Homo-oligomer: A and B are copies of this chain.
Amino acid sequence: MNTHPFYAILFSVYLFKVNIFMNISPPPITSKDVAKLAGVSQSTVSRVFISGSSVAEKTKKKVFEAAKTLNYRPNAFARSLTTSESKLIGLVFPDADYPIHMKTLQLISSELQKIGYSAVLIPWMVNEQEQHSIPNIFQYRVDGVIAASATLNKSLYEECEEFNIPIVQFARVVEGTKGSHVISDNYAAGQIAANHFYHCGVKSAAYLTGNVPTFTNDERNAGFSSEFEDLTGQKTCVIEANYDYLDSLEMIRTFLSENKNTDGIFCATDNLAMALMDIARLEFGLRIPEDIQVIGFDNVPQTEWLNYQLTTFKQDFKRLARESVKIVIDHITKKETSLVKLMIPATLIERKTTQYKR
């Protein structure tokens, strides 16, 4: 992997500027302007834009019309200042470019949109130096936080507690934090994987995982190993590699060369599963599923690729998103004052890296 100086001559930065006519912004339209045009008081205009207020139909119509002609939008800052609700939910996401998260972000933000909330990004742990700085967005007093980062920063947590901001953890549980969470049923997924391996005739199974221990991961392993032992009487072993594809290779290599009789590996992530597949096939000449069977977790797009066709678990992210939004809103509105711990089943997607034998 190198860049050839040869091409350097072609490199340069082009910058075009085009003069455009920049309007001076007209003074923004306020409820007063609308009131004047509609011939009502400012408070009436305000009421029209609050659902549930008692306003005569006729008045409502007049106001909406005036608002439309003036292109009026209520100023959320003024509203938030008086109501002390921001209608903003902070989102904390991992910086790993894990493809699953972008879709999740979209799901959550559109769920929020539906109920009148908006999503703001909380950049966390982006820079080691400014680790202790409070993200600017906290000045806006988000009403709640949804966190999908595996390494939830402790200070974020304390910040939320300090200001009594409800926080719900999405698809993961961070050790040492108490708070609501909605996750997939990892223990059951582990059981299902073991069960599937059993029906595929796997005799010697292993769980391939990353380097950072997480609650969800431990659960999966626990379900897997206990179920596999129940069914076969065999203990499973654990391979601790690395969540990064490239960094996991060496550990997988070592394991495969030392454990020739392992014929079924359940992997903590699809990326690990695909690393395993690549090494097994390219370096050990193993056939999948004939020589070794593989189950992944996540159902990333690559699992469907011709070269992989990986049997894996699909998490119900749509449901996870919907539930996490519901929970955080219930906390905000005090409809729910208890911690909520919700588990959603994950589904096994059978492709071609496993094969029934009995």
Q: Does A54 contact B (CB under 8 A)?
A: no
Q: Does A338 contact B (CB under 8 A)?
A: yes
Query: Are A28 and B118 interface neighbours, CB within 8 A?
Result: no
Q: Give Cα A306 to B276, complex, Å.
A: 10
Query: Are B10 and A192 interface neighbours, CB within 8 A?
Result: yes
Q: Does A43 contact B (CB under 8 A)?
A: no
Chain B, residue nearest A12 (CB) = B345
Q: Give Cα A221 to B213, complex, Å.
A: 46
Contacts of A1 in B (CB 8 A): 349-351
Which of B100, B116, B164, B342 is in CB contact (< 8 Å) with A97? B100
Q: Does A358 contact B (CB under 8 A)?
A: no
Which of B22, B195, B343, B344 is in CB contact (< 8 Å) with A337? B22
- Interface stretch, picked from A74-82, A168-176, A203-211, A286-294, is A74-82
Q: Does A102 contact B (CB under 8 A)?
A: yes
Query: Are A11 and B121 interface neighbours, CB within 8 A?
Result: no
Contact A113 B136, CB 8 Å, known A13-B342, A245-B304, A279-B306: yes
Q: Give Cα A280 to B358, complex, Å.
A: 35
| Nearest chain B CB to A189 CB, angstrom units | 9
Query: Are A123 and B127 interface neighbours, CB within 8 A?
Result: no
Tell me the chain A residues, 92-107 only, with Cβ under 8 Å from chain B: 93, 95-103, 105-106
Contact A103 B113, CB 8 Å, known A22-B334, A73-B138: no
Q: Does A251 contact B (CB under 8 A)?
A: no
Interface size counted on chain A using CB atoms at 8 A: 108
Counting every copy of the chain, the complex holds: 2
Which of B105, B110, B246, B337 is in CB contact (< 8 Å) with A304? B246
| Nearest chain B CB to A105 CB, angstrom units | 7
Contacts of A162 in B (CB 8 A): 71
Q: Does A282 contact B (CB under 8 A)?
A: yes
Query: Are A136 and B117 interface neighbours, CB within 8 A?
Result: yes
| Nearest chain B CB to A292 CB, angstrom units | 16
Contacts of A75 in B (CB 8 A): 81, 139, 141
Q: Give Cα A235 to B97, complex, Å.
A: 38
Q: Give Cα A51 to B78, complex, Å.
A: 24
Q: Give Cα A341 to B347, complex, Å.
A: 47
Which of B4, B15, B118, B123 is in CB contact (< 8 Å) with A113? B123
| Nearest chain B CB to A114 CB, angstrom units | 8
Q: Does A120 contact B (CB under 8 A)?
A: yes
Q: Mark A113-156, 1 if CB is under 8 A from B, else 0.
A: 10011111101001100100011111111000000000000000
Contacts of A71 in B (CB 8 A): 162
Q: Does A18 contact B (CB under 8 A)?
A: yes
Contacts of A118 in B (CB 8 A): 120-121, 135-137, 140
A-B contact pairs, 23 of them (CB 8 A): A2-B349, A7-B192, A10-B192, A12-B345, A13-B345, A16-B341, A17-B341, A22-B334, A25-B163, A73-B139, A77-B78, A93-B105, A97-B99, A97-B103, A106-B123, A110-B126, A117-B136, A118-B140, A121-B121, A249-B306, A275-B305, A278-B305, A278-B307
